Amino acid sequence: MLEFLMSPAVYSFVRGPLVWIAFLVFIVGSAYRIYVMISTVKKEKLVLPYMSLRYSIRSILHWVIPFGSVNWRRHPVITIVTFLFHICLVFTPIFLLSHNILWHESWGISWWTLPESLADIMTLIVIFSCVFFFFRRIIASEVRFVTYPSDFLILAIAFLPFLTGFLAYHQWLLPHEAMVNLHILFGAIMLIAVPFSRIIHMIFGWFTRAYTGSEFGMVRHVRDY
């Protein structure tokens, strides 16, 4: 198995066709999910009439700012871990130096990159945040009650690309070639999983928050934050 993971053929596949497939599924699948959502919303007579740009923006701003809502302030540990997790999860892969080099080699584009020491810290934040969320789902009764096996699978999908990337960078545990191939493989799985799992909340969450803010502001005349 180790020899298979280290083979140049595996690297050529995960670095080439698999990456293209992952991005294609991610983009087309996400676009389709958005299309279905918009089509469904148009059929519902109680959604669009309640939408308000003013209350949507007000709600979104309060919820994307750390401690901007009452609920965030009531749970400071969850707030800090959640915000750090999402910030590092999104920005580390985008601005990582090694990823930037691959973008330049493949498409001739590049942008600002994170210092490698900072990228290391951000990667560890994602790893330990996943561990935190894992044990929280087991220990906290209010979370355990609404936890399904798929929630642990989603955590693993987010966890493994960062763990393998960290191990590959430091050349720990497995030979470098094998760990790099695993890292690319798990990264592709994460992209492919987005349209078919609750990770799609990275897109739908904005619409949900906009509607909630509009309903609370226009209809109930109260704050949702």
What architecture does CATH give domain 54-219? Up-down Bundle (1.20)
**What does the pLDDT look like over 80-121, one tens digit per residue?**
999 999 999 999 999 999 999 888 887 888 899 999 999 999
- pLDDT one-digit tens code per residue, 22-77: 999 999 999 999 999 999 888 887 788 888 999 999 999 999 999 999 999 999 99
DSSP states along the chain: -HHHHHSHHHHHHHHTHHHHHHHHHHHHHHHHHHHHHHHHHHH-TTTGGG--HHHHHHHHHHHHSTT-SHHHHH-HHHHHHHHHHHHHHHHHHHH-HHHHHHHHHHHS-------HHHHHHHHHHHHHHHHHHHHHHHH-HHHHTT--HHHHHHHHHHHHHHHHHHHHHHT-SS-HHHHHHHHHHHHHHHHHHGGGSGGGHHHHHHHHHHHHHHIIIIIS-S---
Domain locations along the chain: 54-219
What's the pTM?
0.91
